[in-house]
């Protein structure tokens, strides 16, 4: 049985004061829940305050990015050591916004995944096709390439620490959600691909989240699908009530 994972990607939102307000509200209701893995990924500037508030709770902290390097002359970058000092456990890697606006390549993404696993953090590797790619019928090709390259050279034993987030780019922040069946089809494809790449055991334990306009009104149907093991949530994670409702949905299923 794979434990469901609900992760909030706050993107470039929330000042420190706003972050504190949000996690205080969240932990009042959800601090002790253990049915689901809950992760919040605030901007770097809020990591310390958020980690302090969540330190005695079951809610984990993640970052939205990481450097593939250890330390040194990399202006503007943040290392694994800096993140671990702030009790970060999960790291979002290769989000479509980073691929598109910051030109992150599959090769760089793979180096980040390898670094994160080496340093005993858990990667959330994002993959997904654009609208144009879906309409031209190449969704599976795109996702397969991102996964094969992003997870290159990773030991099959590591897959229990890996989360893959399938996020169709056309559904991110647009209000358009993939139907539960469209999402399930790609999740099943990904699980079969992992089986082909590294074997049945790894494909059974790897968790595959859906992301793209997941919200309280569509979460139950998505999370009920056999190969959907949770959600990576942007907009709906910025409010404690809606994010809390997604945690509740995941723990009921
Ligand atoms: P959204 O974002 O829930 O606002 O669509 C999801 C994501 O980008 O991770």
Using a 6 Å cutoff on CB, does residue 173 contact ligand 1? yes
What are phi and psi for residue 64, nearest 5 degrees?
-90, -5
Q: Whose CA is nearest to atom 7 of ligand 1?
A: 234
Q: 175 pLDDT exceeds 90?
A: no
Mean pLDDT, the chain, as a whole number? 97
pLDDT at 191 over 90: yes
- Is any ligand 1 atom within 6 A of the Cβ of residue 214? yes
Q: What's the pLDDT tens digit per position in 6-50? A: 999 999 999 999 999 999 999 999 999 999 999 999 999 999 999
pTM value > 0.75: yes
| % of the chain surpassing 90 pLDDT | 96
List, as one string, the DSSP characters of 178-212. Answer: --HHHHHHHHHHHHHHHHHHH-HHHHHH-EEEEES
CA angle 121, 123, 125 (to 5 degrees): 175
Task: Show which residues are catalytic.
Answer: 95, 167
Give residue 1's pLDDT: 84
Greater confidence (177 vs 138) lies with: 138
């Amino acid at each position: 049985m794979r434990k469901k994972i609900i992760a909030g990607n706050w993107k470039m939102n929330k000042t420190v004061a706003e972050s504190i307000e949000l996690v205080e509200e969240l932990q009042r209701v959800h601090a002790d829940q253990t049915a689901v893995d809950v992760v919040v990924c605030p901007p770097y500037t809020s990591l310390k305050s958020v980690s302090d508030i969540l330190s005695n709770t079951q809610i984990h902290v993640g970052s939205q990015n990481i450097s593939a390097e250890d330390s040194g002359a990399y202006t503007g970058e943040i290392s694994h050591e800096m993140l671990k000092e702030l009790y970060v456990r999960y790291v979002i890697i290769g989000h479509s916004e980073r691929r598109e606006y910051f030109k992150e390549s599959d090769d760089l993404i793979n180096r980040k995944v390898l670094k994160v696993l080496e340093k005993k953090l858990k990667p959330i590797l994002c993959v997904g096709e654009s609208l144009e790619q879906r309409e031209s019928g190449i969704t599976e090709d795109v996702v397969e390439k991102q996964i094969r390259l992003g997870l290159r050279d990773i030991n099959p034993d590591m897959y229990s620490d890996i989360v893959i987030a399938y996020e169709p780019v056309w559904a991110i922040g647009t209000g358009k959600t993939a139907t539960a069946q469209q999402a399930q089809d790609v999740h099943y494809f990904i699980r079969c691909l992992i089986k082909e790449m590294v074997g049945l055991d790894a494909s059974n334990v790897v968790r595959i989240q859906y992301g793209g306009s997941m919200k309280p009104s569509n979460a139950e149907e998505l999370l009920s699908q056999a190969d959907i093991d949770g959600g990576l949530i942007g907009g709906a994670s910025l409010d404690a009530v809606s994010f809390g409702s997604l945690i509740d949905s995941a723990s009921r299923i």
